[in-house]
Chain A
Amino acid sequence: MADVTVLGVFREVDNAAQGVQNALKANFTPREIDVITAVPYPDEVWGLPAQRTNLRKIAAMFWVIGFSTGTLLAGGSAWLYPLPTGGKPIFSLPTSAIIIYELAMLFGIFASAIGTLWESGLPNFNKLPYHSKVTEGWPAVTVLCRGGANVDNAENALKSAGADEIVRHS
């Protein structure tokens, strides 16, 4: 049987947090539980483990790649086509530093943006568990039931926390 996701819509954040706790008690792992909100909340609100991200590392890595690209561009192109101008050296560090700096920043910015989308799995236009009430301000808790097992447990966990509406996605 395919995976089933149970989604419960709550009116209050406190109830949604209770729903998360109930699901944890029903032996669902934190990886199987997710919260969908219209406003960012810190992980402690739900009692779920804090998340880690590699975004800063990705940005730093591409910053270095941008740095090298800038060096190659400013230095390399000057050596490829050496034209003396105004008694200035063919490759000068002070002027190349500006190009290097801008390209490093450009790469860093692009990497943070693309890394963000990549890490959050966007863009994704498939039908994923979602409820349009979320953007009206209703928090939703989703519980992934692998292989369709324990669906009732999941529904009970959310219902007992006071879910206004419960929907199954498969």
Chain B
Amino acid sequence: MADWVSDLAPPPFTKADEHAAPGAHPERTQHRWGMAVDLDMCTGCGACVVACHAENNLAIAGPIDTEEGRSVDWIRIERYWEGEYPDVRAHFLPVMCQHCSAAPCEPVCPVYATYHTPEGLNAQIYNRCIGTRWCQNNDPYNVRFFNWFEAALNWPEPLPNQLNPDVGVRSRGVMEKCTFCIQRIRESEDDARVAGRKLRDGEFTTACAQACSAKALVFGDLLDHDSKVGHMAESARRFRLMEGLGTEPVVYYLKGGQA
């Protein structure tokens, strides 16, 4: 069937290989990276945010810039309050890029700066980005970040020494977003390939999941049904953010147990 004909019917989103670019490396289509967030476990401590900053060389924004909404936080803890004082309860919702299978942010980019990798990641290519920022307009989760400042100039000494050499720093004028720590994914995949074995579940994880002391964040391969994230994604407590929009996120939230 011609591709434009298939445009008339919603394309299937269940298997990663159906998103594979023609000619893509076959091994790269074996995984469908995803995440599960157990909201009943989340304490809202913010360790994931800090870990992400350290791992991915996120630009540091001061209190004024943060107040003005120009900070860069690939993962944030949304805090919602319930009830009236003194009977108040806080709800925490860690939100990062949902790596949607039908990502609305991707097709609106006129220069292919964001696209879907064969492993289902929503990739951002900084060098190609010209900063139309239209991806953020069409992003219902508001998890894409624009570089308002020249980040490379904004690290006060001695912070430049802690920059992660595996990750670049982004220049002013481009969009950036959560990559699911693609540098860790690639490293582990290459290790496994060199050793001639399959990637094992739990062999690596993203910075935020690694830092989560409550083990609320779990990262892994959704295609692997024995993986922890695979189990969680099939939990009865699962839901996804704004599912009604049909964006097919791969971040599963779990809620409804005792907490």
Task: Give A contacts to B, CB under 8 Å.
Answer: 81-94, 96
Contacts and interface: CB of A to CB of B under 8 A. Distances in A.
Contact of A90 (B3, B101, B109, B248): B3
B11 A93 contact: no
Given A84-B116, A87-B19, A93 B109 contact: no
Contacts of A88: 7, 106-107
A87 B100 CA distance: 9
21 contacts: A82-B21, A83-B21, A83-B115, A83-B116, A84-B19, A84-B20, A84-B116, A85-B103, A85-B107, A85-B114, A85-B116, A86-B102, A87-B13, A87-B248, A88-B7, A88-B107, A89-B4, A89-B11, A92-B4, A93-B4, A93-B7
A86 B3 contact: no
B141 interface: no
Nearest to B22: A82
Interface residues of B, number: 25
B106 A85 contact: yes
Interface in B101-130: 101-107, 109, 112, 114-116
A82 B106 CA distance: 14
Q: Nearest 6 CB-CB pairs, A to B?
A: A85-B106, A87-B102, A86-B106, A93-B4, A89-B3, A86-B107
Nearest to A91: B3
A8 B114 CA distance: 70
A91 B107 CA distance: 12
A84 B3 CA distance: 12
B6 interface: yes
Interface string B131-158: 0000000000000000000000000000
Given A85-B115, A91-B3, 14 more contacts: A82-B23, A83-B116, A84-B19, A84-B21, A84-B115, A85-B106, A87-B102, A87-B116, A87-B248, A89-B3, A89-B6, A89-B11, A92-B3, A94-B7
